[in-house]
Amino acid sequence: MPGLPDVPAAALFFLGPGSWLGTNGGGGAYVDFAPRSGHHATATFTIPATYTGGNENGPYPTLATQPGSDYAFMTDPAGECNVHFTVLPS
């Protein structure tokens, strides 16, 4: 993205409609990935039944993953890369 530093992500998160990354909110679920350097990585992740929601002042509720809802994988620092998708029922 133009204007952003060319650095690898520090962390990767699964975010639901009720969670985001930021200083006054957060949540989702941490996604482990490798390698930790460079600009390409691999991750294996199972969509969880629940994730941590976020709001501006807390507390951070446990929310259920809902089929048909929009979710995303997002890097932190936020905005470096994100992938949006819809969870479908099995």
Q: Per residue in 30-82, pLDDT tens?
A: 888 887 776 677 888 888 888 888 766 777 888 898 888 888 888 877 666 77
Residues 6+ apart with CB under 8 A from 5: none
pLDDT at 12 over 80: yes
Helix spans in the chain (H): none
Residue type, 17: P
Q: How many independent structural domains does the chain possess? A: 1
Residues of the domain holding 34: 1-90
Distance (Å, rounded) from C-alpha 26 to C-alpha 60?
8
Whether the full predicted model's pTM is greater than 0.85, yes or no, is no
Confidence of residue 17 (pLDDT cuts 50, 70, 90): confident
Q: How far apart are the first and last CA of the chain?
A: 35
pLDDT at 27 over 80: no
Distance (Å, rounded) from C-alpha 10 to C-alpha 81?
11
